Structure 1
Amino acid sequence: MARAIRWPLVVRRIHKWLALFVGVQVVLWTITGFYMVVIHIDTIHGDHLVKTAPTATIATAGLVPPATVAAAVEGATEVQLQQRLGRPIWRVQSPAGLVAFDAVTGRRLAALTGPEVERVARRLYAGDAPVVAATRLTEPVQEMGKRKPTYWQVEFEGWNRPTLYIAPVTGELLAKRHLAWRVFDFAWMLHIMDYEARTDVNNPLLRVATWSAFAMALSGAGLLIWSFPRRKQKKAVR
């Protein structure tokens, strides 16, 4: 005689193994989600690290025409007027990369040197801590995401390791990083379960964990229903 399947026992075992498999990740989702909600996003972005720059007005009288500098760069796709260390420059984008020209003389500018980058960083930084190191990076670093080098990494003294990333040609601020951002980045990696690029929010590992957590919740709900006592129907007395 075949034994009847004891469904509550089967569901309990499924629930137990699912909890063992995905329980740690559920805890990580909770902790990392709490951090990402509690810390204000402006703080994460490091807006407090840099000064609020006033809108710069650059007089165009006497400047080299943009068509002139564009003609000097093969395949130029974009020309913009901006400032570098207080001087107007033409920023020329092309398939080969970024080039800068002195907007007054038309002279092609070399990349910023280490001391010049430090001057740029000090003008941008809102604090008064000294520069610890200024490093020209040619290999990508995790905290710059998909942005390709070359760029300057300028670190300031401080417990939260405030760091500014500066474009080597134009002196533009590329990114602001500090401890709260780095913790957020690590928490985001754990949250989305993308342990390499930290950008794929639909990776297979996350899908498996999500559906496992859903199945765990569903089986737990079933066990909860079965846990309530059922009234036994009395047989009618003839």
Structure 2
Amino acid sequence: MTNIRWPLVIRRTHKWLALFVGIQVVLWTLTGFYMVTVHIDYIHGDHLVRAPAVSPFELDQLIEAPRVVATHPHAEEVKLQRLLGQPVWRVRSADGAFLVDAATGKKLPPLTEERVHQVARRIYTGDPTIVSSRLLTEAPMEMQTAKPPFWQIEFKGWNRPTLYISPATGELISRRHNLWRVFDFAWMIHIMDYENRTDVNNPLLRVATWSAVFMAISGAWLLLWSFPRRKRKKA
């Protein structure tokens, strides 16, 4: 029976593990550095939108909530808010959300493109020049967690600032920009989920993580083995 040369086996194992994991370790370092360097509030795009102005409602001139519920019995939530300064009831049901004119009680149709532009310009903090607007029925990768349809409004700027607005209620769904897109790509590389970019416990990540652990263990063993050992004295 041939004796196993363990130092040689461990050295080769360490070499191939380092080759397999080394590139990913570098990517973990670079993507992690980016994600901790850029402030998360900036990534979220908080600087792109302004907080809505708070003004009181003249309730005696508005339709009351029970009347709205009586007209729409399937409503799960009724909320008073403003659309371009006008009071509206936002009604949410199992079929989706819609608006009701708070002064007349009439159900409002979905917003036109012109009205969506007005909403977007009102809440956007930068250059109000719109370079493109599309009503999307399929969610792009950067909006995969949201349910379409929604308007995609892109403004002028190096960062490609983009607002996503509901066509039914005119509410801001989300905002995106190039630094967010870089962050999303870095997150995909970091967690090694190249499809949905959400699974932080996927098989590929587990394999890479345990490979890195075994690489470290084999490297530590080789380090200890490399130290000179005293030869035993012969009797």
Q: TM-score range by the shorter chain?
A: over 0.9
User: Residue 114 of structure 2 corresponds to which residue in structure 1?
Assistant: 115
Show the 5 A alignment for 1:78-89. Answer: 78-89=77-88
**Secondary structure of 1:112 counterpart:** coil
What is the alpha-carbon distance in structure 2 between the residues aligned to residue 20 and residue 205 of structure 1? 16
Question: How far is the alpha carbon of 1:129 from its aligned partner?
Answer: 4.2
User: Residue 67 of structure 1 corresponds to which residue in structure 2?
Assistant: 66
What is the alpha-carbon distance in structure 1 between the residues aligned to residue 73 and residue 146 of structure 2? 23
User: Residue 34 of structure 1 corresponds to which residue in structure 2?
Assistant: 33
User: Residue 53 of structure 1 corresponds to which residue in structure 2?
Assistant: 52
What is the alpha-carbon distance in structure 2 between the residues aligned to residue 58 and residue 233 of structure 1? 93
Question: How far is the alpha carbon of 1:54 from its aligned partner?
Answer: 3.5
| Two-structure CA RMSD over aligned residues (Å) | 1.4
Q: Is the 8 A contact 1:137 1:152 kept in 2?
A: yes
Q: Structure 1 unaligned segments of length 5 or more: list them.
A: none
What is the alpha-carbon distance in structure 2 between the residues aligned to residue 82 and residue 53 of structure 1? 10
Q: What are the Cα deviations for residues 64-105 of structure 1, in whole angstroms up to 9, with x where unaligned?
A: 111222233342111011111111110111111111101011
Question: How far is the alpha carbon of 1:50 from its aligned partner?
Answer: 1.3
Rate the CA distance shift 1:197–1:57 in 2: closer, same or farther, 3 A.
Answer: farther
Q: Is the 8 A contact 1:163 1:177 kept in 2?
A: yes
User: Residue 103 of structure 1 corresponds to which residue in structure 2?
Assistant: 102
User: Residue 6 of structure 1 corresponds to which residue in structure 2?
Assistant: 5
Show the 5 A alignment for 1:1-238. Answer: 2-235=1-234
Aligned length, in residue pairs = 235
Q: Is the 8 A contact 1:129 1:158 kept in 2?
A: no
Rate the CA distance shift 1:9–1:126 in 2: closer, same or farther, 3 A.
Answer: same
Q: Is the 8 A contact 2:127 2:155 kept in 1?
A: no
Q: Is the 8 A contact 1:166 1:175 kept in 2?
A: yes
Q: Is the 8 A contact 2:163 2:174 kept in 1?
A: yes
Question: How far is the alpha carbon of 1:128 from its aligned partner?
Answer: 2.0
Residue type at the aligned position of 1:178: H
TM-score, normalised relative to structure 1:
0.94
TM-score, normalised relative to structure 2:
0.95
Question: How far is the alpha carbon of 1:169 from its aligned partner?
Answer: 1.6
What is the alpha-carbon distance in structure 1 between the residues aligned to residue 81 and residue 128 of structure 2? 27
Question: Percent identity of the aligned residues?
Answer: 62
**Secondary structure of 2:59 counterpart:** coil
| Dislocated runs of 4+, deviation >6 Å | none
Q: What are the Cα deviations for residues 197-238 of structure 1, in whole angstroms up to 9, with x where unaligned?
A: 1111111111111111111111111111112222223346xx
Q: Structure 2 unaligned segments of length 5 or more: list them.
A: none
What is the alpha-carbon distance in structure 2 between the residues aligned to residue 98 and residue 40 of structure 1? 33
Question: How far is the alpha carbon of 1:57 from its aligned partner?
Answer: 2.9
